[in-house]
Structure 1
Amino acid sequence: VGLVSSASTFTPMSRACDAVGEAPGRPGINTLRLERSIVVEPKMLDSLRMVRDSLPNFGRSGRQSDNVKVANVTFRAGERPGYSYEPNPKDVANILRNIRRGKQFSDFCIFTNHGHEPGNWSEEPADYEREFAHQTVDAGADAYIVHGPHRLRGIEIYKGRPIFYSLGNFMMDDLRTPVGADMYEVYDKDLVDVTDADVTVSEMSSGYETSPGFSDPVFYESVIAISRFEENRLAEVRLYPVELGHSKRFANRGIPSVACAAKAEMILDRLRRLSEPYGTRIAFENGVGVISLRCKG
């Protein structure tokens, strides 16, 4: 079995870097860099252009380009407001090459990506991801698996290969110590009266500027997917619903257990809804989700 992994969500200095001249290479992760832009309505873009032209060091160019950059954020016009991503061509080429190499030396090659885009709040993957997932399968990946969004997203079957746009959390534990003094300041906690656990609870419930936190039960609901192949083609995927104890006290949350019947039906119904846009049909069999491809060519 071959495994190729990458990350599209990462801190700047965690990326592996090649050596150049006298500068040594830097160990790190295999990244998929993304260029993000914010899509707005055309009239909003006109307003942003006025803001840009009024700022110091920005002259009135008179150009009516289809995008505007303000404070290092790129905005462009579109029909559906939201976030758009353009993957780095060099990173894509490098990843696809490594997948081909992995497949050449293995019977089964899995590709995984750690990415939160467009955010943990979204039930849909980022706009670039479906095309990229198809490219990885075309390059030799037998399965495409995303982790990072902390919630379930849809499942697609492409050329007899499963694409899991997110399987959510298998475990969810962020109760930690020690916590730095700056985290106390972020959540307005007193260094004398408050414990590290209090800060962590606030972090998990309040989130960050770009994340709503993890107070919603959906972050504690997932599935265990078992894929069965016959003659090198996917024959069936069985989806076993699990829940991670959202209603339990904080120290006991995050450990997976088999979901009760009502919870299992709710989890599978959500996953079925999210998978339908990809043409994926999920049947219910005794509390288990089943994707069957036996009758497909």
Structure 2
Amino acid sequence: MKQRRRVVWPALFAMLLGLFCQTSAAQTGGHHILLTGQVMLQHNLATYDAPGYANNVELQKIRRQLDSVFALMRSSDTVILELESALKIDSTQAREVEPGRDKDSDFFHEVDRDSIVDLITRKIRFAPNQAMFAAANNHVSDNGVPGITSLITLFQDLNIPLAGVGDELAASAPRYLPVKSGKLPGQQLASVALIAFATDKVKLQAKKTAVGVNTLSVTDDTANTVNSEDRQRIEQSIAKARKQQAIVVAYHHNHHWNQKQVNLAGGIEQWRLDFAHYCIERGADVYFSHGEPRLQGIEIYQGKPIFYGLGNFFFQTRKVNFYQPEVWESVMAELEYDDANPHTIRSIKLTPVVLNENGAQAVFMQTRGLPALADDAQARKILTTLQSLSEKFGTRIDIDDSNPAAIVGRIRIAKAS
């Protein structure tokens, strides 16, 4: 009997410890929301799961790196991603092609249904009611209306909220995750609402009777003004989500930039600074953005975070030797909300990631542009760059190297007086 106890109890303890480690990060503190760079997925990651690649050293390393990233994602209560690809459609379906965006173009981005399902259900393995996706961008329409409607159907089948596409009413509507129970008796944490919109290079704009993308148009560069109808529609969506007591996340995919200014240490046009502030003033808890495929600064405005650019998270582009080195660097931003007040953010953890510009030789494109946690030197470089980009907004990012194996940046947010 004593011998049986020595065998059983260690095994039981290990099982319980594993369960605790899997959920402890999500249960510590308040609600945790994880934001990443854009997901430009074009290949099925299951391709290199074939038995023939089982002993490939390069692929084994990539798998381990991805597993570490995905484990970190699973530890958050809510993960918000943006899919920067059109869904591949049946050859019998009509396809409206953007000018210069035919299948032979390196800037044509599509992904098949199985690739998305494999990533979400078998690779990342999201829990129910954990993931949300935005699809308001310039590439979701690469396969025209059929591509958008097929993508909407796919995410309905996956039971994952998809924001920013549909007819005008559906595209502008907030998408919600269900309310979660808090740690205190009778406490309920607010649901998360996602509102998504895009600026420029959008071929199909959502209209009352037409499927497309929820848009925010810039009407006057000199005066830094945006379309009043677009602004009002987004404001109404924020107000609607706020009435539901949700944590409101405004996502913006922007391609209206001055390239020269952007190249000067991540410059951001005044109209976008103004609109990000506008979203926060109208009730958004978070504003985050992609478009220019590199990191841009972080601002804390009225106690709420603004991420002007989180760059890339997956970047399976066909362009080789084209992009600058910083395109292959980013961070995962984890927002921790207060237990007592679900709308009060306490801190932000920034985990540096690097994307492999060169994939494994055996399956180059299938493994190119995938994220890995940055090592010591890489992490410090990325965080130092982000410090420089953010200091103009008065944002202090501390580099926490207390765990040499996982150097992260931290932003402490003071409580409003």
Do Structure 1 and Structure 2 share a fold, with TM-score over 0.5? yes
- Say whether residues 1:224 and 2:296 are aligned partners: no
Indicate the residue corresponding to 1:277 in structure 2. 392
After TM superposition, the structure 1 stretch with the greater mean CA deviation from structure 2, 89-98 or 275-284, is: 89-98
Partner of 2:294: helix, strand, or coil? coil
- Say whether residues 1:244 and 2:383 are aligned partners: no
AA matched with 1:86: T
- Taking the aligned partners of 1:3 and 1:295, their CA distance within structure 2 comes to 24
- Say whether residues 1:167 and 2:310 are aligned partners: yes
Could you give the per-residue CA deviations for residues 42-72 of structure 1, whole angstroms, max 9, x where no partner exists? xxxxxxxxxxxxxxxxxxxxxxxxxxxxxxx
Matches within 5 A, 1:145-224: 145-175=288-318, 200-201=319-320, 205=322, 214=323, 216-224=324-332
Deviation at 1:144, TM superposition (A): 0.3
- Taking the aligned partners of 2:331 and 2:255, their CA distance within structure 1 comes to 18
Indicate the residue corresponding to 2:368 in structure 1. 253
Deviation at 1:117, TM superposition (A): 2.9
Measured on the aligned residues, the alpha-carbon RMSD in Å equals 2.0
Partner of 2:234: helix, strand, or coil? helix
AA matched with 2:388: R
Q: Larger RCO: Structure 1 or Structure 2 (Cα < 8 Å, ≥ 6 residues apart)?
A: 2
Partner of 1:278: helix, strand, or coil? coil
Partner of 2:252: helix, strand, or coil? strand
Indicate the residue corresponding to 2:244 in structure 1. 105
Indicate the residue corresponding to 2:269 in structure 1. 126
Partner of 1:92: helix, strand, or coil? helix
Indicate the residue corresponding to 2:201 in structure 1. 10
Deviation at 1:36, TM superposition (A): 5.2
Could you give the per-residue CA deviations for residues 255-285 of structure 1, whole angstroms, max 9, x where no partner exists? 0001111111110011011101111000010
Preserved contact between residue 155 and residue 274 of structure 1 (Cα < 8 Å): yes
- Say whether residues 1:114 and 2:304 are aligned partners: no
**TM-score (normalised: structure 1):** 0.66
Preserved contact between residue 303 and residue 416 of structure 2 (Cα < 8 Å): no
- Work out which of the residue numbers 278, 303, 313 in structure 2 matches 1:135: 278
Indicate the residue corresponding to 1:67 in structure 2. none
Deviation at 1:120, TM superposition (A): 6.2
Deviation at 1:294, TM superposition (A): 4.1
AA matched with 2:255: H
AA matched with 1:87: V
Indicate the residue corresponding to 1:33 in structure 2. 217
Give the unaligned 5+ runs of structure 1. 19-24, 38-75, 77-83, 176-199, 206-213
Preserved contact between residue 202 and residue 213 of structure 2 (Cα < 8 Å): no
- Taking the aligned partners of 1:17 and 1:296, their CA distance within structure 2 comes to 40
Indicate the residue corresponding to 2:383 in structure 1. 268
